[in-house]
Every structure is written in C-alpha cells, then in structure tokens.
Amino acid sequence: MRFTSKETAFLKRNEVCRLATVSRDAMPHVVPVCYLFHEGHFYIVTDYETKKYKNVLENPKVALVVDVYKPHKAVTIESKAEILERGEEFKRISELFYKKSASSNQPPRGLLDPPAVT
C-alpha cells in the first residue's frame, strides 16, 4: 500500500492505533496500542504474555486503524505481521520507538511489524 503525503503526515503525527489480531480459532481481539510509523512500516511494542502477541504467533493476519474523531480522519491497514526480536533493526527501531512514545518507558521484549502492503 502506498500512502499519500497527507496520509504519511497523519500517520507520523499520531501515536495510537487500534490493532486487531485473530486467534487460531478465529476469535478477534482489538486493542489500542502505541505505534511507530517508519519507512512505510508500523512497529508496535508488546510483551510475550499479551493476547496480541500470542495471536500473531498463531495467525499473522492483522488489521489496524489510526483515527481521530474531530475532524474524522482514518487510515486502515490489513496485512501480515512479523515479529522482530533481536538484531540491528530491532535496536534501531526500539530507539526510534522510545524517542517518539512518551507513554512507553520500558525496553521492548518484542516488536510486531505489520508491513505496509505494496
């Protein structure tokens, strides 16, 4: 998926989205999460014990929506998530995420990366 310059600015300006995951038995789960939008990808930090993490292990299909109420604007993505846990990319994205997100104060144990669909 390609984003317009307006959509990209909107995605970079916001910090919270709603992430939808689905368990192996097709039970949906939607939660608000902080995200980092960087180079066409959404990065979401989570702990191993969370339902969203377990769901992605069982079924990588996810959806997310970034929206604001007034004036109503939204961007919705459907994709497959990848779990990023170590390495240089993990370190780089972790640093960027924590610089952006004032509400996050713990180092990540795992990042969910639902890549933009092209």
**Tokens 């993990």, residue located:** 90
Higher pLDDT, 89 or 17: 17
pLDDT at 117: 42
pLDDT(56) > 60? yes
pLDDT at 104: 52
Whether this model's pTM surpasses 0.85: no
pLDDT band at 80 (very low <50, low <70, confident <90, very high): very high
The CATH fold of domain 5-113: Pnp Oxidase; Chain A (2.30.110)
Sorted by where each begins, the domain ranges of the chain are 5-113
